[in-house]
Structure 1
Amino acid sequence: MGTGAVRNSYEDECRKSLAREQAKSLAGTNNWEHVDRERVHQDWDVLYREITTFLDRGSLPGDQQVQELVRRHFDIICRFYTPSKEAYVGMSLFYAEDEAMRAFHDSYHPGMVEFMGAAIKVFAEQGSGFAPSAGAETPA
C-alpha cells in the first residue's frame, strides 16, 4: 500500500470524526444554542484578516506566529465543542472540499484554505488541547 492510500485512509477517518463529533455535540447542545454566533463570526473575521497578513508576508504554516493564530482558531472552535485531532483536521478538509466554505475562506485570501489546512495539520501533530478521538476505544 502506497503512502497515498494511507493518507487517504487517514483523511477519511478525519472526515468521519468531524461528522461524528459535530453530530454528537449538536444533539447534546440543542444545535449549539450556547454559542454567541455573532461574536464567533466577528472573532473569525479578525483572525482571518490577521492570517492574511502572514500569507502576504510569505509566512509558513508551521511558523510560531502562525501556529499561535491557529491556536486562536482552535479556541474559537472550542466554543462549540472540543474536537479530537482527527476532527480538527477533518474541519480543514471540509473547508477545502465544501464549495461555500472554500469561497468564504478564500474571500479573505486566495490561498487561505490551503494555508489553513497545512497550518491545522501542523497544529494537530503538536497535539495539545484536543479531546480524545470519538472513535477511540475507552475502558468501561
Structure 2
Amino acid sequence: MGNQYEEECRRSLAEEQAKSLAETNNWEHVDRPQVHQDWDVLYREIAACLDGSLPGDPQIQELVGRHFGIACRFYAPSRQAYVGMALFYAEDDAMREFHNSYHPRMVEFLGEAMRIFAERGVGFTS
C-alpha cells in the first residue's frame, strides 16, 4: 500500500466514523457489552488459527467477515474506512496492545486479512 492510499483510508475512517457518531448520538444503538463479548470470542478464534494460516485463507476470511459484521453494528464502513480501521489498530498504542494481547502477531495478521477482505469487496456498499 502506498502512503497516499493509506492517508485516504485514514481520512475515510475518520470522516465516516464522525458522521455516524453524529447521526446516532454516539452509537447509542450499539449494545457495547455484546459487541465486546463477540469481538473477544472472535479474536480468540483468530488467535487459535493464526500460526497455521495465512491472512487470505478461506477460514481466516470467514472470520474477518464476522469482524466486518460486528463493525457494521456501529456503521457500514467503506472499503477504505475498513482498511483505515486496520491501520488504526496498528498505529494506536492502546489498540495495538489490546489486539496483540490475544496473540503477539494479531495486529499484523488481522490488518493484512482486513485489507484482503476489503480488496475482495464482499459486503461493502461503496
Query: TM-score higher than 0.5 here?
Result: yes
Name the amino acid aligned to 2:111. Answer: G
**SS across alignment from 2:103:** coil
Equivalences for residues 1-140 of structure 1 within 5 A:
7-56=2-51, 58-132=52-126
CA displacement at 1:129 relative to structure 2: 1.3
TM-score with structure 1 length normalisation?
0.88
Deviation digits for residues 91-128 of structure 1 (CA, Å, limit 9, x no counterpart)? 00000000000000000000000000100011011002
Q: Which runs of 5+ in 1 are unaligned?
A: 1-5, 133-140
**SS across alignment from 2:125:** coil
Deviation digits for residues 3-23 of structure 1 (CA, Å, limit 9, x no counterpart)? xxx711000000000000000
Name the amino acid aligned to 1:54. Answer: C
Q: Tell me how far apart the structure 1 counterparts of residues 45 and 18 of structure 2 sit (CA, whole Å).
A: 30
Q: Percent identity?
A: 73
Q: Tell me how far apart the structure 1 counterparts of residues 97 and 125 of structure 2 sit (CA, whole Å).
A: 29
TM-score with structure 2 length normalisation?
0.98
Q: Tell me how far apart the structure 1 counterparts of residues 13 and 105 of structure 2 sit (CA, whole Å).
A: 23
- C-alpha RMSD of matched pairs (Å): 0.8
Structure 1 segments of 4+ aligned residues over 6 angstroms from their partners: none
Structure showing greater radius of gyration is 1
Q: Tell me how far apart the structure 2 counterparts of residues 113 and 97 of structure 1 sit (CA, whole Å).
A: 10
CA displacement at 1:131 relative to structure 2: 3.1
Q: Which residue is equivalent to 1:3?
A: none
Name the amino acid aligned to 1:21. Answer: E
Aligned residues: 126
